[in-house]
Amino acid sequence: MPIDYANNKLTAIRRNDREVTDDAWIRALLHRAPVGYLATVHGDQPFINSNLFVYDEDAHVIFMHTARKGRTQANISENGTEPPAERPKVCFTVSEMGRLLPADVALEFSVEYKGVAVFGRGEVIADPNEAGAALQKLLNKYAPHLKPERDYRPVTAEELKRTAVFRITIEEWSGKKKEVDPEFPGAFYYGT
């Protein structure tokens, strides 16, 4: 009997041999990935945007920021600030590409990869203290060698008014990877 993918659980992985259920592995990939992709919907039109982000493990949320006005802001704010269960659904993903895997038959070419898909609810953070703290977490991720007050002036209240800080409350996630033998014949990295 064929699998009904449209009604399958969001986090279901088609290839069980590539599924990663280890939450520590998923958290580690979310911590080290430099860029993530946020999927939102406006009406029946999907949108995807690349974003710098930070995974806050203690709060089990993802923070990111973008312009005060724009597509992400419009899509997430469309439903206002309802209770968490009624906030807009979003999907967020990160990935890493490994080696390309050539084959004797074109259809059998493949690639090593690692990826995480996060499903949750998105919202604009209204509290300026939380927004400022989230922005600092982003700075800490991308410039850990630089310190506020020592290397730069922290974000001001006036500057916070010029940006929107988003929180994704994580409801579910899934991990997936494909790795092959290090001696795989002819394997190479893209661009080399």
User: What pLDDT was estimated at residue 78?
Assistant: 59
pLDDT in tens, the chain (192 residues): 677 777 777 777 788 888 898 999 999 999 999 999 999 988 888 999 999 999 999 999 999 998 888 888 888 875 455 566 678 899 999 999 999 999 999 999 999 999 999 999 999 999 999 999 999 999 999 999 999 999 999 999 999 999 999 999 999 999 999 999 999 999 999 998
User: What pLDDT was estimated at residue 171?
Assistant: 96
Q: Which two tokens stand for residue 162?
A: 């010029």
Residue type, 33: A
Domain coordinates in residue numbering, the chain: 5-178
Q: Is 63 helix (H, G, I), strand (E, B) or coil?
A: strand
User: What pLDDT was estimated at residue 6?
Assistant: 77
Class of domain 5-178: mainly beta
User: What pLDDT was estimated at residue 75?
Assistant: 84
Task: In whole angstroms, give the CA distance from residue 4 to residue 7.
Answer: 6
User: What pLDDT was estimated at residue 81?
Assistant: 53
User: What pLDDT was estimated at residue 56?
Assistant: 98
CB 76 within 8 A of CB 66: no
CB 78 within 8 A of CB 88: yes
CA 98-166-75 angle, 5° bins: 95
